[in-house]
Structure 1
Amino acid sequence: MLKISNIKLPIGHDSHALLHAIIKELKVNKEQIQQYQILKRSLDARKKDQLHFVYQVVVTCQDERKILQNKRLKNIEPYQETTPISLNIGDKPMQHRPVIVGSGPAGLMAGIILAEYGYRPIILERGKDVDRRAKDIDEFWQTGKLNPESNIQFGEGGAGTFSDGKLTTRIRDTRIDHVYDYLIKAGAPEEISYINKPHIGTDILRNVVKSLRDMVLNAGGEIRFEHKVVDIELENQKVVGVHVHASDKHETTYIETNHVILAIGHSARDTFHMLNEKNVAMDPKSLAIGVRIEHPQTMVNQSQYGEYYDHKDLGAAEYQLVRKKDESLDRTVYSFCMCPGGIVVAAASEDGGVVTNGMSYHARDLQNANSALVVNIDPEDYGFQPGKSPLLGLEYLRKWERQAYEVGGRNFFAPAQLVRDFLEGQPTTDLSQSSVIPSYKPGVTPADLRECLPEFVIDALKQAIRDFGKRMPGFDFGDAILTGIETRTSSPLRIHRKESGESINTAGLYPTGEGAGYAGGIISAAVDGLKIAESMIQSYSNQSFQ
């Protein structure tokens, strides 16, 4: 098989154009092509009047060796297929079934692999299954009644289930292809394996999550919803079991285990407190705090696509902006989790705090585009010094979430401000005349964001918005809406682990995924879950469970 890179085709090309381009690149006849498959497709929008797609394909054809020997042919090389996961099972005894805490991407992927290899894992999820979880979330958005155990942060699938379902990642790991394979088998669109910035959308992702659950169950694993791990039993700093509160039965039970994959999300603050009390080694890390900014999606399309802004072959446009710190700006500001054609959602997991996030459906066809716009926060900014609590960052974020709750009206309404007023340093008193309609539910309160964000964050956001407006026309649009506050971009700490994935000071504990500080998004969390499960399989025998 051959891999061909950098095939350029115009926007709106017909279904035969790619085959003709392959024939031209290889300088062969059509009859010599046996089959081809798209590996990658990206949009080159650097020149707005010359938008085009760039393809990378794998081709099976006659005379491949002869083609590779032709030095005049460019962008062609042998293709190496991704090899299936094949692990050698370890020989160290594992007396009790492994426990996985959390059913987000890391927990589900770890559960699937362990189940497939015969370890019969038990996944404990504090929240509800995705269907009942969706009902609780909808009730929160409609009425402001929050279920602290079933919300955007907690429940089957993790926080990413109610997002854009974005699958972009900066990591490089062969396991990414395996994650895509599992997602596609579970019902995700096949295009996620080749488009440059893949996403699933919350509507499809909810069904994908249920299919991943079935994979765990069908392979011999177990998932218990509304089962919250409230304590980890240690003997000589070794895991011997977990205490679990089953909220559906109103009882606490004990499960013996010597292996716990801790796949909690970044919002499991009560679990972080419990781990800190157990002296599990962890440190705070850099955070980010800011707002959600909403623009008309058509404006973003025009800015990114130029005259092609409404072309049928182009989906809703995205952007990714970074203003790095320099002499005039003492910290980095960046867009995060941009949701084209989406909505801003209430993402609180604690009473008395306002948290925002973004969400899109697969079609990305709603009126507004939104993105987090956040400012980097270092541990020194919230007073951390060696010897102080690693939970200081967590408390810092909680402080501002509670302040936003007060400013919003103590009813989970979010404080919102027009970009025009924000830049001029004056409060917004009326949003009804804005051409951009805020999408956040339960609702927004016109406000002054200076009342619920640190002064240095306000100053940095102002400078960045003006700068981004020069780089992306319309970004500083006066009617754009800023909704506060965004605080859950990543985990507030990192739980230290060895190369094997095991905690550096707590034997049998395997910190995994985003909550542990080793991932940032669906794909990297899923890959980390696979990595930790593979390490466990290669070390321990499954004979006790056969």
Structure 2
Amino acid sequence: MIRITELRLPIDHAPEALEMAILKRLNLPPKDLIGFEVFKRSYDARKNVALSFIYTVDLSVKDEEAILKKFDGDIHVRPSPDTSYHFKAKAPESIATGKSLRPVVIGFGPCGIFAALVLAQMGFKPIVLERGKKVRERTQDTWGLWRKNVLNPESNVQFGEGGAGTFSDGKLWSQIKDPKFYGRKVINEFVKAGAPAEILYVAKPHIGTFRLVGVVEKMRQEIIELGGEIRFSQKVIGFDIQNEQITGVKIECHDDLPASHVVLALGHSARDTFQVLHEAGVFMEAKPFSVGFRIEHPQSLIDRARLGPHAGNELIGAADYKLVHHAKNGRSVYSFCMCPGGTVVAATSEPNRVVTNGMSQYSRNERNANAGIVVGITPDDYPGGPMAGIEFQRAIETKAFELGGRTYEAPGQLVGDFLAGKPSTEFGSVLPSYKPGVHLTDLAESLPAYAIEAIREALPAFEKQIKGFSMKDAVLTGVETRTSSPLRITRGPNFQSLNIKGLYPAGEGAGYAGGILSAGVDGIKVAEALALDYLSK
């Protein structure tokens, strides 16, 4: 096939216009074009240009060699790269006959789902252990916190089928380098499971929370149909290790499960499991992460600032942003997990603590835009070893619970008051979306002084990029602490733990991913490494 890049068309173009543009670009008669598909579509909405879509298309023609020769030297007409996924292994017969131990996957978030799915597709019949519940039951428990202030520590935004990504924007883009197109495999599997087909080609694909529920269920069903097992409400509480080799896992209220190959697809909030691993001697180290607040503005304000005269165009949808500021005190402040037309959600997994996150539905049509405004910190800020970052997070989350009134309401403050250093007493034009509710206070007490100082400097700086960003009525809601895992379960080039053979740290919790797409990609890579090691024995 041939790939053409940088094909520009007006955003409201007729469906047939793209084919006509392809023919014109190649000076090709219609009879010589066999077919085409859109690989990527982005848009150019700069204020001084006509609104346009920018296409990358793959096409088949009757004489491909002649076309490529004709456009030799044209960087926008090239052979299409192979973006198909190729399995690296096939399970031995001993798996099918039950003579060999099946691989075990701990955790059924994005990383665990894709590790289990690819293992199942290769015939390895994995056993998945998920401490939480099925996604629909888990959704009911999550609403229990949002609507009734009742937390279930084993079934919430962090724990359960689909992982933390289920209650997010369902964003499927990442900054990871993907030379082997693992990301394409992830997105193809989502589409096969019922996600909108457009995520295959739009520049910043997303699914949305409600749609993710059905997608996750279908992926679970495929794993089961291929011989895998998904065991819910099975919390891992220990590991059997002999001669630096994993030999099994201990499960609360269940028999031990023998295993020689175990994928640790833990989320970044599996704090008790991290502790168990640490006590078992599994090598891990502290790593940087970030803490801060959620900020909410009217989505219309963001649309106007980012899209100018194109704001409100339904073909583009709600605008997003990405901001970074390097503060005078040496701290970096940046926007994190921006959710256009979304809501701020309660995301704690431990009693008497408050944690925020953001999510959007597929439509992204809620009144407010929200994003984390977070400050980077390093292990120098929380000395004490690999588990010290968790205690640092807990201290902040406990303080937020206290500032919010000890009811799982979150502490909040208007941006104008935050910048002025005075407590807020009433909301203005922006009403917060966080449930169970926001208790107005002074957020200066909720984070270390260096973080407050850096955020106070950053907000006016962001105003220079997005007019209205530091508007006095915008709302800050605390606290955002779980931007990434506070530790890394270090692994070698073979994807196994540095000191425990057969143990495969993977995904966000192990410190190797940040978001749905990168977690899924890491799950696939770990599944491949596990399969190849299995066959080498």
Distance in 1 between the 2:498 and 2:441 partners? 46
Q: How far off is 1:413 after superposition?
A: 0.3
Output one character per residue of 1:205-253: Cα deviation in whole Å (capped at 9) or x when no partner: 11100011011100000001100001111122321111112xxxxx232
Cross-structure match for 1:305? 307
Show CA shifts across 1:241-275 (max 9, x none): 11112xxxxx2321111111100000000011111
**What residue number does 1:80 align with?**
81
Counterparts in 2 of 1:8-19, with a 5 A limit?
8-19=8-19
Q: 1:131 & 1:43 partners in 2: Cα distance? A: 36
Compute the displacement of 1:467 (Å).
Answer: 0.5
Q: After TM superposition, list the pairs within 5 Å mapping 1:62-77 onto structure 2.
A: 62-71=62-71, 75-77=76-78
Q: Secondary structure at the match of 2:165?
A: helix
From 281, 285, 288, the counterpart of 2:290: 288
Find the counterpart in structure 2 of residue 538 from structure 1.
532
Aligned to 1:451: 445
Note the 1:116-155 alignment, pairs <5 A: 116-155=121-160
What is the Cα deviation at residue 133 of structure 1?
A: 0.2
Partner in structure 2 of residue 427 of structure 1: 423
Is 6-15 or 449-458 further displaced after alignment? 6-15
Instruction: Say if 1:299 and 1:474, in contact at 8 Å, map to a contact too.
Output: yes
Q: Does 1:156 align with 2:161?
A: yes
1:134–1:419: structure 2 CA closer, same or farther, 3 Å change rule?
A: same
1:365 matched to 2:365: yes
Task: Return the match for 2:114 from 83, 104, 109.
Answer: 109
The AA in structure 1 aligned to 2:214 is: N
Cα distance in 2 between the residues matched to 1:284 and 1:420: 36
Aligned residues: 530
Distance 1:306 1:449 in 2: 33
Question: What is the CA–CA distance in structure 2 between the aligned matches of 1:119 and 1:241, rounded to whole Å?
Answer: 17
Deviations 1:417-444 (A, max 9, x none): 101111111110112xx11111000001
Q: Is the 8 A contact 1:25 1:73 kept in 2?
A: no
1:331-368 CA-to-partner distances (Å, cap 9, x unmatched) read 11110111111000000000011000001000001111
In the TM superposition, residue 459 of structure 1 has moved relative to its aligned partner by 0.9
Query: Any conservation in 1 of the 2:90–2:123 contact (CA below 8 Å)?
Result: no
> What CA distance in whole angstroms lies between the structure 1 residues aligned with 2:111 and 2:386?
23
- Per-residue CA deviations over 1:72-119 (Å, capped at 9, x if unaligned) read 855101112323323234889983221110001111111112122222
Which secondary structure state, in structure 2, belongs to the residue aligned with residue 415 of structure 1?
A: strand
Q: Distance in 2 between matches of 1:83 and 1:443?
A: 46
Aligned counterpart in structure 2 of residue 396 of structure 1, from 381, 392, 395: 392
2:236 is aligned with 1:229: yes
Higher mean C-alpha deviation, range 354-363 or range 166-175: 166-175
Q: Secondary structure at the match of 2:254?
A: strand
Deviation at 1:186, TM superposition (A): 0.6
| 1:314-342 Cα deviation digits (max 9, x unpaired) | 111111111135xx341111101111110
State the partner residue of 2:215: 208
Match of 2:254 in 1: 252
Could you tell me which residue of structure 2 aligns to residue 248 of structure 1? Answer: none
SS at match of 1:363: coil
Pairing 1:478–2:485 present: no
Partners of 2:535 and 2:197 in 1: CA distance: 35
| 2: CA distance, partners of 1:120 / 1:46 | 50
Deviations 1:440-487 (A, max 9, x none): 000010010011111111111111110010111111111111000000
CA distance in 2, matches of 1:373, 1:185: 35
Runs of at least 5 residues in structure 1 that lack an aligned partner in the other structure: 246-250
**Match for 1:501: what amino acid?**
F
Against the structure 1 CA distance between its residues 349 and 48, is the aligned structure 2 distance closer, same or farther, given a 3 Å change threshold? farther
Structure 2 counterpart SS, 1:460: helix
Q: Tell whether the 8 Å contact from 2:84 to 2:185 is kept in structure 1 after alignment.
A: no
* Counterpart position of 2:405: 409
One-letter amino acid of the counterpart of residue 283, structure 1? E
1:293 CA displacement: 0.4
Q: Which residue pairs with 2:436 in the alignment?
A: 442
Mapped partners of 1:63, 1:236: distance in 2: 61
* Structure 1: distance between partners of 2:75 and 2:285: 49
Please report the TM-score for the alignment, with normalisation by the length of structure 1: 0.94
Q: Partners of 1:343 and 1:83 in 2: how far apart?
A: 36
DSSP-derived class of the 1:77 partner: strand
Q: Tell whether 2:481 aligns with 1:487.
A: yes
The answer to whether the Cα contact below 8 Å between 2:240 and 2:250 also exists between their aligned partners in 1 is: yes
Among 249, 262, 279, which residue is 1:277 paired with? 279
Q: How does 1:284-363 map to 2 (within 5 A)?
A: 284-325=286-327, 328-363=328-363
Letter of the structure 2 residue corresponding to residue 266 of structure 1: H
Q: Check whether the contact 2:413–2:440 (CA below 8 A) recurs between aligned residues.
A: yes
**Could you say what the CA RMSD is over the residues aligned between the two structures, in angstroms?**
1.7
Aligned partner of 1:529 among 513, 520, 523: 523
Name the aligned partner's letter for residue 441 of structure 1.
K
Aligned to 2:182: 175
Once the two structures are TM-superposed, the CA of residue 10 in structure 1 deviates from its matched residue by 2.0
2:25 corresponds in structure 1 to 25
What letter corresponds to residue 57 of structure 1 in structure 2? V
Matched-pair identity in %: 48
CA distance 1:73–1:121, shift in 2 (3 Å): closer
CA–CA distance in structure 1, aligned partners of residues 414 and 84 of structure 2? 52
Amino acid at match of 1:408: G
The separation in 1 between residues aligned to 2:189 and 2:326, in whole angstroms, is 37
- SS of 1:191's partner is helix
Q: Does 1:4 align with 2:11?
A: no
Which stretch of structure 1 is more off in the superposition, 6-15 or 473-482? Answer: 6-15
For residue 397 of structure 2, what is the amino acid of its counterpart? Answer: E
User: Structure 1 residues 267, 188: closer, same or farther in 2, change over 3 A?
Assistant: same
Q: What amino acid sits opposite 2:472 in the alignment?
A: G
Displacement after TM superposition at 1:21 (Å) = 1.4
Partner of 2:381: 381
